[in-house]
Amino acid sequence: MRSQPLPSGRAKNGSKKSIRSGWQLYLFLLPAVVYIVIFAYVPMAGVQIAFKEYDFTKGIWGSEWVGLDNFSRFFESYQFWTIIRNTLLLSLYSLVISFPLPILFALVLNSFIGQKFKKIVQSVSYMPHFISTVVIVGMLVQIFNPRTGAFGSLYTFFTGNVMPDAFANPDLFPHLYVWSGIWQGIGWSSIIYIAALSSVDEHLHEAAQIDGASRLQRVRHIDFPSILPTATIMLILAVGNLMDIGFEKVFLMQNDLNLSSSEVISTYVYKVGLTIGAGDFSFATAIGLFNSVINFVLLIIVNFAAKRMGNASLW
Amino acid sequence: MGTARAKPTSKAESGAKKVRFSTHPTSDKIYYVFSGIILTSILIAVAYPLIYVLSASFSSGTAVSSGQVLLWPVDISLEGYQAVFKNKDILRSYGNTFLYTILGTFINVTVVMTCAYALSRPGLRGRNFFMILFTFTMFFSGGLIPFYMLMRNLHLIDTMWAMVLPGALSVYNMIIARTFIQSSIPGELVEATSMDGCSDIRFFFSFVLPLSKAVIAVITLFSAVGHWNAYFNALMYLNDRSLYPLQVILREILIMNQVDVSMIMDPELQQANVQAAAVLKYALIVVATLPILCVYPFIQKYFVKGVMIGSLKG
């Protein structure tokens, strides 16, 4: 195989003949391939139990097919609408608030003068991203502690009463969830926009200044359009994940009192599948599959729509 | 990079000169004042909770439980930290997390870099097949339950491998690494060395690794942070308390309020215990997050620049 290294790497017959295509490269691939087959593709095969009635004594292959039974059980369960509603509410609320904010932050930060200040603000802003979810929720719980937390103290200071427990109130749950997410993510999410903004052509700004454009106008007409492609891609990804409220944070923030707002698809799957006695694997898998399919369909729809509108798209 | 504009220098070539604030037109001045207010508000909003936690951790138990701490430490004391270091659960889980992080990161970097290297070689046969094999998993997965069943069948439940193996290959990172290798190792180098008889393996160790320091640094950092903060895997796959990582213990103490308030009957002692529990929580947050913050300057140095460069190259 290494008899004739060709300068262009291409053989005369046009196929990509290797410079070296030795067995060694496959050795390099081996760990990754083994990993992906075992940890990604084998579970994919396990998805079939969504259409079966999984019985652990019979194993995956021995369990009976029941078609769409598990799915209809899910749709007809009394919790179905609550769960879907909660998931969508949290997603949409998150999306509407946390999509524009990093963009605005990036625009304001980028257009500001005063280098040291900019650096400080930027560096501080993405510190929270590296804090673990557990600590974030832990801080949230502490800060909203009616007696000892910062908010609790301020509430008592202003009203003279002890603040009611914020985590016991289902109505407050979406707000706590979304705004703590913004606190954690605004700095980090803005990086990609700041990066895009930093590649804006210097001369555009100079020309605009000569023409008498104000700073605000320059931001609106030069900076903002330059990040639209990036923003579109990010929006596509965000919408594609609409039904995909992450398990970790919601699970940590849940308690028996706010469950009517805080039970989402992923936590329900966990409860149904892995906690209640000998969990119902088939049922839980079916719900998970339902979730994945919806996400995928959403992704395709949004990507298609973006393409149609002439903007950047994922593919 | 656009920093030529962002950093006005006095060099003529950059085209931007240092402009005094007073010479800006009025409308611009208003804009800057407003922007400044917004940015400062954001700065305060982000920094305040962090400062608060730090201050509370250095305050006394009584001060914290009576809500006296607002910004600075009240009644400075180390009792919070003392309580942290006395707690065996915390110490053991700290050690576990160190182990998982080091081992897990090493595995991640190894798997990602070897795979990225192989896929970056133009001569690899079946390259497209492998790419599809990997990227398909970014869109589809079996879901939580099938994965759990796999872990069970592999007898990984309640072992440290449950913390370290899942997520060994991040396809996203692998693609980034591959792109990096492709764009920074010149083709001529490949040809020249192959004509000299350099094997794939040797090329990897002698050339690719030294030249890929930046991307290895980035992957290492993010992988390490990910492992340090991991709790989902532990929640799912670990039942043995002695294997618990830091985040699980954190959850017990911070969120489920399960501090070691043993069956103390004496009300004064109970009171003291509750107060100690309050400060412990803040001190614990600081201790748990400190390693990440130490890593933070490195992240600044390598990653932010990397993202900038990456986005320019598309």
Angle, CA B42 vertex, CA B37 and CA B48 arms, to 5°: 120
Domain boundaries defined on chain B: 98-229
pLDDT at A6 over 60: no
Pick among B20, B64, B135, B145 to test the A interface (most A CBs inside 10 A): B145
pLDDT at B268 over 70: no
Q: What pLDDT was estimated at residue A3?
A: 47
Residues A134, A248: Cα–Cα separation, whole Å: 8
Interface contact flag, A41 B21, Cβ < 8 Å: no
Q: Hunting for tokens 């998931």 — which residue is that?
A: A87
* Residue B151 confidence class, pLDDT cut points 50, 70, 90: very high
Q: What's the average model confidence in pLDDT over B50-59?
A: 89
CB contact at 8 A, A90 and A176:
no
Nearest-CA distance from A175 to chain B in Å? Answer: 16
CB contact at 8 A, B183 and B211:
no
Residues A204, B8: Cα–Cα separation, whole Å: 16
% of chain B surpassing 70 pLDDT: 85
Sign of the torsion angle spanned by Cα atoms B189, B192, B194, B198: negative
Give the H/E segment covering residue A65. Answer: strand A63-65
Backbone phi, psi, residue A15, to 5°: -80, 155
Nearest-CA distance from A295 to chain B in Å? Answer: 9
Q: What pLDDT was estimated at residue B7?
A: 44
> Residue B286 carries which side chain, given as an amino acid letter?
V
Q: Which of A38, A46, A202 is nearest residue B146 as measured by Cβ atoms?
A: A46
Nearest-CA distance from A84 to chain B in Å? Answer: 18
ipTM score over 0.85, yes or no: no
The overall average pLDDT reported for chain B is: 82
The CATH code belonging to domain A76-308 is 1.10.3720.10
Residues B15, A206: Cα–Cα separation, whole Å: 9
pLDDT at B205 over 50: yes
**Chain A residue with minimal CA distance to B37?**
A108
pLDDT at A297 over 60: yes
Residues A87, A173: Cα–Cα separation, whole Å: 12
pLDDT at B267 over 70: no
Highest mean pLDDT among A219-228, A260-269, B79-88: A260-269
Q: Hunting for tokens 């729509």 — which residue is that?
A: A305
The partner residues of A65 in beta bridges, in order of sequence, read A52
Q: What pLDDT was estimated at residue B258?
A: 58
Q: What's the average model confidence in pLDDT over B284-305?
A: 81
% of chain A surpassing 90 pLDDT: 23
Residue-wise pLDDT tens digits, A91-134? 999 999 999 999 999 999 988 888 888 888 988 898 899 899 99
The CB-based long-range contact list for B305-313 (8 Å cut-off, 24+ gap) reads: B306/B214, B306/B215, B306/B218, B307/A191, B307/A192, B307/A195, B308/A195, B308/A198, B308/B1, B309/B1, B310/A195, B310/B176, B311/A192, B311/A195, B311/A196, B311/A199, B311/A230, B312/A195, B312/A199, B312/B1, B313/B183
**Chain A residue with minimal CA distance to B249?**
A134
Q: What pLDDT was estimated at residue B294?
A: 83
B70 Cβ contact list (under 8 Å, min separation 6): A150, A153, B52
Residue-wise pLDDT tens digits, A260-285? 999 999 899 888 888 866 678 889 99
CB contact at 8 A, B58 and B77:
yes
* Residue A176 confidence class, pLDDT cut points 50, 70, 90: very high
Q: What's the average model confidence in pLDDT over A304-311?
A: 75
Residue-wise pLDDT tens digits, A126-157? 889 989 999 999 999 888 887 777 777 778 87
Domain boundaries defined on chain A: 76-308
Question: CB B158: neighbour CB atoms within 10 A?
Answer: 13
> Residue B212 carries which side chain, given as an amino acid letter?
S
Listed range (A23-32, A290-299, B257-266) with the worst mean pLDDT: B257-266
Residue-wise pLDDT tens digits, A27-84? 899 999 999 999 999 999 989 888 888 887 877 788 888 888 888 989 998 889 999 9
B74 Cβ contact list (under 8 Å, min separation 6): B55, B59, B60, B63, B64, B68
Its CATH architecture, for the domain B98-229, is: Orthogonal Bundle (1.10)
pLDDT at A14 over 70: no
Residues B19, B188: Cα–Cα separation, whole Å: 46
